[in-house]
Structure 1
């Protein structure tokens, strides 16, 4: 299994987990929200919106194109901070799936 195949699987697992815990943002941000210069678009999107419409979408595009993956990826720690006040039943599965994505991208 290639790193692209492993990443595609991990992205599907992340999506399913976000849906399971109620963090799969259904509302697409306004086009101007994507112009943010801040990390994770914190000034224009919620973290779940950023995950769905920026992070997952961009990684899936790289998978589909079999393009070079980023050299580093460390989104799990940011999501852990964002979810710090959520119950472990919400926080832990999401952070675990993101850590898997981070690892696959970093090791590719």
Structure 2
């Protein structure tokens, strides 16, 4: 049961990555180490949300899965995405759908 959830989450991370690439929101070069070191939630002070997904969220989640670390109990990514993409609802529809599904996968079922 747990293994299937891990596989589903891993698949979802790949779909999120692919959607960022399809939309042209995938950077070839990483942000500066200073930008990546932000301690603010979602690094909003130094990165665009898409950059945070690519350079912080995806690698962190992959590490958690690869090393069998405990998954976060909750994910508020969709709420952030809704805010960030409020002015780009059409463009961001698929990414928001994927993030919503990710949030559901992360939240432990009762």
Confirm or deny: 8 A CA contact 1:4 1:66 kept in the other structure.
no
Point out 4+ residue stretches in structure 1 off by more than 2 angstroms: none
Picking from 18, 21, 36, the partner of 2:20 is: 18
Picking from 30, 33, 39, the partner of 2:32 is: 30
Unaligned stretches of 5+ residues in structure 1? none
In structure 1, the residue matched to 2:45 is: 43
Q: Distance in 2 between matches of 1:87 and 1:98?
A: 14
In structure 1, the residue matched to 2:85 is: 83
Q: Distance in 1 between matches of 2:78 and 2:89?
A: 16
Q: 1:12: Cα distance to partner?
A: 0.6
Q: 1:101: Cα distance to partner?
A: 1.1
Q: 1:87: Cα distance to partner?
A: 4.6
The structure showing larger relative contact order (alpha-carbon pairs under 8 Å, at least 6 residues apart) is 1
Q: 1:23: Cα distance to partner?
A: 1.5
- Stretch of structure 1 that moved more, 10-19 or 78-87: 78-87
* Equivalence map 1:34-73=2 (5 Å): 34-73=36-75
Aligned length: 107
In structure 2, the residue matched to 1:92 is: 93
TM-score, L = length of structure 1: 0.90
Q: RMSD of the TM alignment (CA)?
A: 1.5
Q: Distance in 1 between matches of 2:65 and 2:78?
A: 20
Unaligned stretches of 5+ residues in structure 2? none
Residues 10-51 of structure 1: per-residue CA shift (max 9 Å, x gap): 001111111112212333111111221211101111111100
Q: Distance in 2 between matches of 1:24 and 1:80?
A: 19
